[in-house]
Amino acid sequence: MTFKDWFPKDKNDWFNQGDQERDRTEPPRLKLPISKPMLILLGILAVATLIVQASAGFLTDLYWFQARNLSSVLWTRLLPQWGLLAVAFVAAFLALFASLKLARKKAGEIPLPEEIARILPVRAPFAGVLILLASLVLAFMSSNGVRHQWEIALKFLNGTSFGSVDPIFGKDIGFYVFSLPFYKLFQVWLMQLLFLCLVGSAVIYILTLLPKFQMERRIDVPRPIKAHVLALASAMALNWSFGFWLERFNLLYSPRGVAFGASYTDIHADLLALNIMTVLSIVVAVLLIIGISKKTWRYSAVVVGVLFVSGIVLRGIYPEIIQKYIVVPNEFSKETPYIEHNIKATIEAYGLDKLTILNVDPDDQVTESDVEADPEALVNIRLWEHEPLLKNYKQLQEIRSYYDFLNADIDRYFIDGRYRQVMLAPRELNLRELQNPTWTNTKLEFTHGYGVVMNPVNEVGPSGQPILWVKDLPPVASVPMDITNPQIYYGEAPENYVFVKTTVQEFDYPMGESNVRTTYDGKGGVPIGSIWRRLLYALSFNDSKILFSDVFTSESRVMYHKNVRERLHKVAPFLVYDGDPYLAVVKGRLLWIQDCYTVTGDYPYSEPVVISTGKGRAKINYIRNSVKATVDAYDGTMKFYVMDEKDPLLTTWRKIFPALFTDGSSMDPQLRQHIRYPKGLFSIQSEIYRTYHMGDPNTFYNKEDVWETLRVDDRGSMDSYYLIMTLAGESKSEFVIISPFMPVGKNNMIAWLAGRSDGDNYGKLVVYRFPKQKLIYGPTQVAALVDQTPEISSQLSLWSQRGSDVIRGNMLVIPIGGSLLYVQPLYLRAERGELPELKRVIVSTGGKVAWAEDFGTALASVIGGSPTAIDIEQVQQPQTQDRPSLDDKGLSELATRAQRAWDSSQEALKNGDWESYGRWMKDLEETILQMNRIAE
């Protein structure tokens, strides 16, 4: 290699040489393994996936509503939300964009040096884009919160007159319930919008005028800018005045006075202050407008100052002076008309204005003639309480660990022509107790509970357990009761979605070595056969197994929203649901009955209470049980029956959702036999009535006759309970709920309230008022008499010393004929046992107390008759249900019987005969108890 080889042969190589050296030093460029079209396609797929993921929840909701034929309900809820958002957004955007654009235009007319004007953001070429973006963002912020107020807007557009007016302003109650909330919403939204317009425009003007101020050390605000700012300020002042005007109506919810609602001070001080401030705000608005052409801003500032001072003096100091020096020394005379307003409004709002009051002077004690005249009440006295009964259900009838009895409901049926009160509990599925909780087990196989257990409220077996009219798997009934679909897919159990009509057969119920299986044959659930729907539900439930499992067919369905209350709330969130849905057997089907309430907290002058809504707690002062909803336990079919067509709140909701509600007149007569006065409503009415039975303002003011309801305590007292009884003046027994009342601080009974449930009397309230000058024993006084009875107290002590747990049932007060009967069951649970047995029944009347192993004997003892004479032994004496009799025998013979029962039970267990197994095990238990009694 020579020296000249170091130089390029061509001069252009001087330039190419650098490129060649650079090529040798730079790393090779990365080549994508896919083409650009493929990359674009992947991007589109990614965006589509995000859209599907975001819309999966909405689409699965839509499919659910469509499957229930309620898609119109969903759209009626969704479209107003987006409509409100659109209207508020467009209005806010137009106002903001116009204001900001005008501000930019007027700011651009201000003369500034070129070097300063060039760097100002408001005069930059992109300022228009910034204003557009700012308007969009601020408009969305202003309108997004309005979207969730769709209920307020729809009620405003469909409001119904209540037919009564408030006593202060003379406006229909519907104005306060339907219109006023919307006006408040609009006023707050408009104030927020005007504030954003004012602040946004002011920022533009300040950014423009600030450099000029720095140069000239003074500001001369051009008239167009002043006009813009003062116009916005004037609009805010007018809206402020509108707010003061609306606040006048809030006085009707004032808690200041003796009673809830506007008091003397509210009307004569606060109302005056609000009227003055309304006028002053209008004056401010007018002066601000005048200030555009004239220099009246100083007057405006003075008026604004007066406005603030008025707020402090007239709304703070002046009312306190009126209250302290005028009202307090003359409180009753000043507050009397407002107490009357409160009493009248509260009684009407809680449906207590049409109750029937009966003044009753009860006889000293129940007699044999009273018993003979009202046999239905006696054969339906409830001896089984929820907790002991549930423990018996769980021990005797759960059968498997994955079953559970969540609650026992009380109802009534006609059995062999007799009106009987019963307790009933569904056997629901408890997936938490599955030994192998795999996806297949929890989603495909164990999909439903099975059957119910039912017992009469008053019958007791020899061993102290309930007599079961419906029991076992599959259900076996000893009374005329046919259950065609015992499977329970929808109930009170926690939510769990399942799949039916798949290639995997569902577990139906246990039977011997091989369980009985089934395939769902109903219309419940939502179709999920297509791959598209499986994808959506996999995304919505966050469960990929739905997409990749091969068990689905074109007929497969998914069941979700299975909890009764949650299911109904999904459809009608504007209703409040009672905390105790109950199950009824209607024409062979299991139907859940749910009491639904229409409520509001906007009824003027009505005393508020706090209730639990299932989603939290809310303060209300108006309630009606206007709707009864049903849910089919097999297919989930929902119906909302209208029970009170006069309720203005429900009338409004029916206008909004015409396809949702069904006339109560179309309710099946057999279903109507099972509706009842709801305990939730009755408890609220009892709480109100204990004070508001005092209709006289003077009595109410002094609180001299306040009552109190019973509370659950260690002696077994309770607040309200269902029973079958014959009301005074009626010819037949009926199903009612009653609540005794005692004077505050006293234990004697002064009255009780009854809610009726049967036939045309459904929903009516009756009050029994007892004479104040006569002692009527209250439940706690009777409980004290029980404790003072030597035979009872000594036996209770003996049981406790032996380690047994004595459980006192509720002390029931039962009107029989012209007197009162007190009944309390006693349960005994062994120290290590889980099975409470009904050991004794305590009966009291006329200050006498007796107890026995059954109700009939105790009643005969306390009134001086005999079970045969009373003619109630058929239903009150222990029942044996064709089991071997347990007469007193020697221990050896009983031991032989125990061995035979044990051998027979084991044989039945091997054969999978669960009915025989349960019968022989009960016989064994009874024999052992008999041996213990003989040994004692």
| Mean pLDDT across the chain | 86
Secondary structure percentages of the chain, helix, strand, coil, to 5: 50, 20, 35
What phi, psi does 588 have (nearest 5°)?
85, -5
813's CB contacts (< 8 A; 6+ apart) are 738, 740, 749, 752, 779, 820, 821, 822
Strand partners, 145: none
At residue 120 the predicted structure's pLDDT band, cuts being 50, 70 and 90, is low
Helices (H) and strands (E) in the chain, counts: 32, 33
Beta bridge partners of 358: 768
Residue 32 has pLDDT above 70, yes or no: no
Judge whether residue 11 has pLDDT over 70: no
pLDDT of 672 reads 95
The tens digit of pLDDT for each residue in 418-451 reads 999 999 999 999 998 888 999 999 999 999 999 9
Residue 115 binned pLDDT confidence (cut-offs 50, 70, 90): low
Identify the bridge partners of residue 102 per DSSP, sorted by sequence position.
none
- Do residues 84 and 148 make contact, with C-beta atoms less than 8 angstroms apart? no
Whether the pLDDT of residue 598 is over 70: the answer is yes
Q: What is the pLDDT of residues 292-332, one digit of tens each?
A: 777 666 676 777 788 788 888 888 899 999 999 999 999 99
Q: How far apart are CA 734 and CA 725, in angstroms?
A: 6
Q: Which two tokens stand for residue 615?
A: 């989603």
Contacts of 54 (CB under 8 A, 6+ apart): none
Indicate the residue type of 58: F
When pLDDT is cut at 50, 70 and 90, the band that residue 56 belongs to is confident
The single-letter code of the amino acid at 904 is S
pLDDT range class, residue 878, cuts 50, 70, 90: very low
Q: What is the pLDDT of residue 204?
A: 85
DSSP structural state of residue 460:
B
Segment 171-193 shows an average pLDDT of: 96
The confidence score (pLDDT) of residue 22 equals: 45
Q: What's the pLDDT at 7?
A: 40
Which residues touch 9 (CB under 8 Å, ≥6 apart)?
none
Residue 372 pLDDT level (bands cut at 50, 70, 90): confident
Tell me the two tokens of residue 380: 């339906």
Sign of the alpha-carbon torsion through 393, 397, 402, 407: negative
Residue 121 binned pLDDT confidence (cut-offs 50, 70, 90): low
SS3 assignment for 385-422: CHHHHHHHHHHHHCCCCCEECCCCEEEEEEECCEEEEE
**Which residues have CB under 8 Å from 21's CB, separation 6+?**
none
CA gap 914, 927 in Å, rounded: 20
How far is the C-alpha of 665 from the C-alpha of 676, rounded, in Å? 16
Residue 207, burial from CB neighbour count under 10 angstroms (0-12, 13-18, 19+): middle
For residue 206, give every residue at least 6 positions away whose Cβ sits within 8 Å of its Cβ, in sequence order, or none: none
Q: Kindly report, residue by residue over 322-362, the tens digit of the pLDDT.
A: 999 999 999 999 999 999 999 999 999 999 999 999 998 88
The burial class, CB within 10 Å (0-12 / 13-18 / 19+), for 337 is middle
Flag whether pLDDT at 195 surpasses 90: yes
Query: Which among 198-212, 747-761, 820-834 has the top mean pLDDT?
Result: 747-761
pLDDT at 904: 72
pLDDT of residue 830: 80
- The pLDDT value recorded for residue 803 is 73
Contacts of 131 (CB under 8 A, 6+ apart): 97, 100, 101, 104
Q: What is the pLDDT of residues 153-172, one digit of tens each?
A: 999 999 999 999 999 999 99
Q: What is the CA radius of gyration of the chain?
A: 38
pLDDT at 124 over 90: no
* pLDDT recorded at residue 198: 94
Q: What is the mean pLDDT of residues 96-109?
A: 86
Dihedral angle, C-alpha 170, 174, 180, 182, nearest 10 °: -160
pLDDT tens for each residue of 782-802:
989 998 988 888 888 888 877
Peptide bond connecting 474 to the previous residue in cis, omega within 30 degrees of 0: yes
Q: Which phi-psi region, left, alpha or beta, contains residue 882 (left: φ > 0; alpha: ψ -120 to 50)?
A: left
Pairing of strands 617-620, 589-600: unpaired
Amino acid 623 reads I
Find all residues with CB under 8 Å of 117, minimum gap 6, and list them.
Answer: 123
pLDDT, tens only, 799-816: 887 778 888 888 899 988
| Residue labelled with tokens 């009051």 | 357
How many whole angstroms separate alpha carbon 541 and alpha carbon 527? 15
What the block records as the tokens of 412 is 């009534």
Given this model, what pLDDT does residue 183 score? 97
Helices (H), 432-478: 439-440
The residue-averaged pLDDT of 60-75 equals 95
Q: What pTM does this model have? A: 0.85
- Lowest average pLDDT, out of 297-311, 518-532, 901-915, goes to 901-915
Residue 326 has what pLDDT? 94
Residue where the block lists tokens 């009895």: 405
